[in-house]
Homo-oligomer: A and B are copies of this chain.
């Protein structure tokens, strides 16, 4: 196949893709992030902790907050304990454990600024630490407020992509298609899609990825309310022109998708990316509809569970096929 395959790819690699051409594995992970690791540079300089906190799952984010809260209070409890419980009023001095428990709760009452006053500092040192702890507590919750807001106000497209792409009949020929749909109650308008592909070829026996941009049939859409089936027609100007089912299976291909839209709630542009590799392309299939009119409510129902539903179909014979 190698010789015939090379002849099929007639385009020049003029795409400035931004990826190394000799990387292995996917270029774009399915979640849309580039498959790249960084080294060198101190880890603290390499991580934007704000980006990190925004990308955490809600469960992990809350767990981190709780753990931080406990650890901070344990530290301050220890400090108060070392200063001496005689500098706090209302401590249960029956035994050291009870003393530590009481200073721990005093710490938490200070950190959260609840300050019941049943336990209160007397004397310079304990008061000074409490003064500092209350200040720290307020700043910590100031940061937490910012993180919460940053997390939930972060503009996201909330698009679900079909798990597979299909090679389906289209007009007189066939096309690569996949589909996507907004799955949340956001309102996206003015969407467009940019499609490119990486195809691995052997150059003097060494695998090398070439990048091509793919034309999309009607690449813009006014309102992204229903599903959107993205269509790349496989014509003479497509790098997949003449590809057989086996070519799609045996070549390392990666389809890289970038969708951009305007979210009316955030009043902001949102971007989501995904990718399809050879194993995720079904040859000779077409998607089945995933929406239908609802006569009772005079509305349209979009059934998101059907996003991956397709049926096998024959492809028309194409010219330019390698026999």
Q: Chain A interface (Cβ within 8 Å of chain B)?
A: 15-20, 22-26, 28, 32-41, 45-52, 54-55, 65-66, 69, 73, 89, 92, 101, 105, 108-110, 112-118, 120-122, 124, 127-128, 130-131, 134-135, 137-139, 141-146, 148-150, 152-156, 158, 160, 183-187, 189, 191, 194, 196, 218, 220-226, 228, 258, 262, 264-271, 273, 291-295, 297-306
- Select one of B51, B120, B145, B228 contacting A149, CB under 8 A: B145
A109, A270, A297 interface centre (most CB from chain B within 10 Å): A109
Q: Are B183 and A291 in contact (CB under 8 A)?
A: no
Contact A36 B145 (CB under 8 A): no
Known: A40-B306, A221-B16, A305-B40. A293 touches B24 (CB 8 A): yes
Cβ A110 vs Cβ B114 within 8 A: yes
Task: List chain B residues, Cβ under 8 A from A269.
Answer: 262, 267
The 4 closest A-B pairs by CB, nearest first: A25-B298, A40-B305, A146-B149, A34-B225
Q: How far is the CB of A24 from chain B (nearest CB, A)?
A: 5
The residues of B that contact A154 with a CB separation of less than 8 Å are 265, 267
Contact A24 B295 (CB under 8 A): yes
Describe A's contact surface by its main secondary structure. Answer: mixed
Please state if B143 and A146 are interface contacts (CB–CB under 8 Å): no
Write the nearest CB–CB distance from A240 to chain B, whole angstroms: 19
Task: Decide: B112 and A134 in contact? CB cutoff 8 A.
Answer: yes
Chain B residue contacts of A20, Cβ below 8 A: 226, 291-293, 300
Enumerate chain B residues within 8 angstroms of A137, measured Cβ to Cβ: 112
Least CB distance, A246 to chain B, in whole angstroms: 24
Measured CB to CB, the closest approach of chain B to A321, in angstroms, equals 30
Q: Collect the chain B residues with CB atoms within 8 Å of residue A54's CB.
A: 265
Q: A114-B113, A267-B266, A304-B41 are in contact. Are A196 and B222 (CB under 8 A)?
A: yes
CA distance A26 to B223 in the complex (A): 14
| CB within 8 Å for A267 and B265 given contacts A18-B226, A223-B19 | no
Tell me the bound Cα distance from A114 to B131 in angstroms: 9
Contact of A144 among B36, B130, B142 (CB under 8 A): B142
Closest-by-CB residue of B relative to A181 is B38
A183 near B41 with CB under 8 A, answer yes
Question: Contacting A264 at CB < 8 Å: which of B118, B186, B271, B293?
Answer: B271
